[in-house]
Structure 1
Amino acid sequence: MHFAFAFAFAALPFLTAASPLVETVPRAEQIIPITKRALHRRTDGTVNATLIQDNIDRSVAKIRRGFEIYERNTGSVHPLASSLRHSKRATGSDPLTDDDAQLWYGTISVGTPAEEFTVDFDTGSSDLFLPGPDCSQNCEGHKTYQPRSSSTSKSLGKSYSLSYGDGSSVSGTQYQDTVSIAGLTATKQTLGSSSVYSDGFASDQFPPDGLLGMAFESISDYQAKPFFQSLIAQNKVIQPVFGFKFAQSGSELYLGGTNSDLYSGSFTWVPVTEAAYWQVELGGLAVNGKSALRSTAAIIDTGTTQIVGDPNTVKHIYSQIPGSKSAPEYGDGIYTVPCDFNTPISLTFGGRTFQVDPSTFNIGEVSSGTCIGGIGSDADISDEFWIIGDVFLTNVYTAFDVGNHRVGFAALA
């Protein structure tokens, strides 16, 4: 999504190039804090590994769906589509609970007069949806969008169904309406008014009311501009950039520029190789200074908890981590590490190496002294692309430059 003015969204700082952005409004008006909800932890503090597995499954299913939408919208096969395998895997989990593992959400307003809603901000999808007035399945506890109460709403007479790989879906009717975040307003923004939420979107699993996608229009199921691109097209933002900072506290999304208080030094920029997802080139991954992954494509996805790769490479990586073990009892592609894990792990982008702090690589404890590792695998993923989620993103300030089709990483302040 794209915002007018230098604007920060809750819980995610706004990214900028190495040169500082010009700010024209007070910073307090540019930043909206966002909240993290880590639902993969039980009340006793241990990790619900099933939800970690679900997060992997759902992330891969989301990528697959985006490839299909890309082909429908552009008439061309996505360059990475052939590298995504089609395997059948038994699971009792609803893939939509994947987003429940870790959500970053904040507040938007919709309609005239404006009504506030909470949404999950997801760089791995492109559409905005909310529960609608006719939603009768899993919408209790969510605030519903009432298009008839908004003087600026307009039904587009089109339905939508966003599926997540196992038959689970969100479906409803497309509308246009006014959508705002912290004073940044897009008019005639396409959004979904949902009549059905799958079980994974029930309020005890998915606290926000809806979801707001921040990837590119080519994977929009609505075939419409995502929110942030609408802000750019309507000249509502100073710069076509948004930034994220993920942390236990002080997280924010910054729209229209970057928050220089939250990072130090300059950004390392990596070009987007295909404007669908935020897809860039990962230069490599090293364990204890030794290369464990060659250069490959990478999708930067705020909706994914772990770093997700192909089974063979992930197995090789863990073979270099003392005390690590494959843990199929917790799910396919899940590994454990000692909770006092301190093996250096780094990722390289644009020729610059970024360290992954052991505290962020450690997802959490599953039994005494045993914790879930921050890299997982999926049988459908090949070594031609990986998914880079929060385990890495919590170590850097990340800028998403829509205008120049590039992603920037900087050291946290």
Structure 2
Amino acid sequence: MGIISIIFLLIGSSTAAVLEHQLIWKESRMIEMIRNGEYPAYLEYRDRMVASRSSNLATVVQSTTDYVYYEYMGNITVGTPDQNFIVVLDTGSANLLIPGTNCTTYCEKKRLFNEKASSTYIATNRPWQIKYASGDAYGTLGIDTVKIGGSGEAQLAIPRSYLGVADTVGSDFKWSPKEGIFGLAFTALAVDNITPPIINAINQGLLDQPLFTTWFGQRGAPGTSASGAFTYGGLDKNHCGPVIGYAELTNARHFQFQATGFSLGSYVSTTTYEVITDTATSFLCGPQAAIDNLAKAAGATWDPTNQVFNIPCDADAGPIKMKIGQFNYVIRANNYILKIDTNSCLFAAIPQNYAGFGPSWILGGPFMRQYCNVHDIGQKRVGFCLSLA
């Protein structure tokens, strides 16, 4: 599943580490469904689920999230001895969720966490619930040792970490290769205000620096794989250039900051937006008017059936430009055009309606393939480095 390298640095009486965690890539379920003609039915199902959702549980609920867009996953283990899971590594959420032995619906063929088989598991009997576009997930909170990296690989062990043991998961688990979600955002975003594992690792002094760096390699032709790595505790000097600049976070729940000057070709916007980067989103997501104008400038046309923009595979209207802090950044055509089969391509931007709440833009895969992101939790900022591969 990939090679993980780890460097241990002895600091005083504690051991801090830098861990390079190789990722597992799989084409997003959204692209698969569009290619197979299944996406319109999914959109209808998703909208029905969102419209009909109700809950009687008195727990904090996150905003609706749709996990059909992710492409990168990683191996983790939970418990003693290790129980292995493959999870979505998500900077847009803050909870660790894995299915437990009580999960039967949509958990077929998944590895399930057996809390009774872990000598380090601590039950809390606290319920939790998270709403997703594909349905609600809920269960009980537990505490156990979580390790980044699978069995047989070098690992970063994070003792006494909270995890959500799910009795029920969303329907997307049925057709998805993921067996859980590993949230990497701040405690303020976490359901029930629990401490996320990555924050727990920092609080325990387990990382050399209180940050992690993400690198997404270039997408290949349909049917081929892509590379990626998360480096916990330091910069990724193997795949990323020097830091160009940092953006101070405007809201330390997500990795949220301000960007301005979105432009492509003749279209130029002077609006300053609140934006986030998101490792679980393979598209750019933004306000309807802005996305429509970018798509028009790129030469893309709206597909009302699949609710995406189609674009000629050989199109190149130049780079999408934006300004973050004092520095200018670009997303080139090879990163904003997604090939779904031999003759079909998508403009990798979709409109999102935030109704005045939360960030206006999500800078997903196209931006994160162009630039490595340094998630500096300690100083509450995000840095950007040109991807070298």
Distance 1:32 1:319, change over 3 A: closer
Alignment partner, residue 35 of structure 1:
24
The percent identity for this pair of structures is: 21
Q: Tell me, yes or no, if structure 1 residue 187 matches structure 2 residue 163.
A: no
Alignment partner, residue 184 of structure 2:
214
Q: Tell me, yes or no, if structure 1 residue 277 matches structure 2 residue 267.
A: no
Alignment partner, residue 18 of structure 1:
none
Alignment partner, residue 386 of structure 2:
411
Residues 175-184 or 357-366, more deviating: 357-366
Alignment partner, residue 177 of structure 1:
144
3-state DSSP of counterpart to 2:191: coil
1:354 shift after superposition:
2.0
Alignment partner, residue 316 of structure 2:
342
Q: What are the Cα deviations for residues 335-354 of structure 1, in whole angstroms up to 9, with x where unaligned?
A: 22221111122232222222
Distance 1:279 1:47, change over 3 A: farther
- Return the alpha-carbon distance in structure 2 between the equivalents of residues 315 and 293 of structure 1: 16
Which residue identity lines up with residue 327 of structure 1 in the other structure?
Answer: D
Alignment partner, residue 120 of structure 2:
152
Which residue identity lines up with residue 129 of structure 2 in the other structure?
Answer: S
Question: RMSD in angstroms over aligned alpha carbons?
Answer: 3.3
Whether contact under 8 Å (2:276, 2:361) holds in the other structure is yes
Q: Tell me, yes or no, if structure 1 residue 310 matches structure 2 residue 295.
A: no
Q: 1:103 aligns with which of 71, 95, 103?
A: 71
Distance 1:118 1:370, change over 3 A: closer
Q: 5+ residue gaps in structure 1?
A: 1-8, 15-21, 62-68, 82-94
Alignment partner, residue 326 of structure 1:
302
Whether contact under 8 Å (1:240, 1:256) holds in the other structure is yes
- Return the alpha-carbon distance in structure 2 between the equivalents of residues 52 and 347 of structure 1: 35
Q: Tell me, yes or no, if structure 1 residue 401 matches structure 2 residue 386.
A: no
Of Structure 1 and Structure 2, the greater strand share is in 2
Q: What are the Cα deviations for residues 276-301 of structure 1, in whole angstroms up to 9, with x where unaligned?
A: 11101112211027523522110111
Distance 1:49 1:246, change over 3 A: farther
Q: Tell me, yes or no, if structure 1 residue 261 matches structure 2 residue 238.
A: yes
Distance 1:29 1:282, change over 3 A: closer
Alignment partner, residue 295 of structure 1:
272
Task: Show the 5 A alignment for 1:124-139.
Answer: 124-139=92-107
Q: What are the Cα deviations for residues 169-197 of structure 1, in whole angstroms up to 9, with x where unaligned?
A: 11111100011124322221110111112
- Return the alpha-carbon distance in structure 2 between the equivalents of residues 241 and 207 of structure 1: 28
- Return the alpha-carbon distance in structure 1 between the equivalents of residues 356 and 366 of structure 2: 20
Q: TM-score, normalised by structure 1?
A: 0.77
- Return the alpha-carbon distance in structure 2 between the equivalents of residues 270 and 12 of structure 1: 29
- Return the alpha-carbon distance in structure 1 between the equivalents of residues 160 and 179 of structure 2: 20
Alignment partner, residue 378 of structure 1:
352
Distance 1:48 1:393, change over 3 A: farther
1:165 shift after superposition:
4.6
- Return the alpha-carbon distance in structure 2 between the equivalents of residues 52 and 357 of structure 1: 32
Alignment partner, residue 389 of structure 1:
364
Whether contact under 8 Å (1:124, 1:302) holds in the other structure is yes
- Return the alpha-carbon distance in structure 2 between the equivalents of residues 325 and 244 of structure 1: 32
Whether contact under 8 Å (2:70, 2:279) holds in the other structure is no
Whether contact under 8 Å (1:36, 1:105) holds in the other structure is yes
Q: What are the Cα deviations for residues 324-377 of structure 1, in whole angstroms up to 9, with x where unaligned?
A: 21221212xx222221111122232222222212122112347x8552211110
Which residue identity lines up with residue 267 of structure 1 in the other structure?
Answer: I
Q: 1:357 aligns with which of 305, 325, 332?
A: 332
Higher relative contact order (CA 8 A, sep 6+): 1
1:318 shift after superposition:
2.3
Whether contact under 8 Å (1:282, 1:296) holds in the other structure is yes
- Return the alpha-carbon distance in structure 1 between the equivalents of residues 314 and 138 of structure 2: 44
State the number of aligned residues: 356
Distance 1:337 1:263, change over 3 A: same
Which residue identity lines up with residue 195 of structure 1 in the other structure?
Answer: D
Distance 1:11 1:267, change over 3 A: farther
Q: 5+ residue gaps in structure 2?
A: 11-16, 51-57, 149-153, 220-225
- Return the alpha-carbon distance in structure 1 between the equivalents of residues 382 and 2 of structure 2: 20
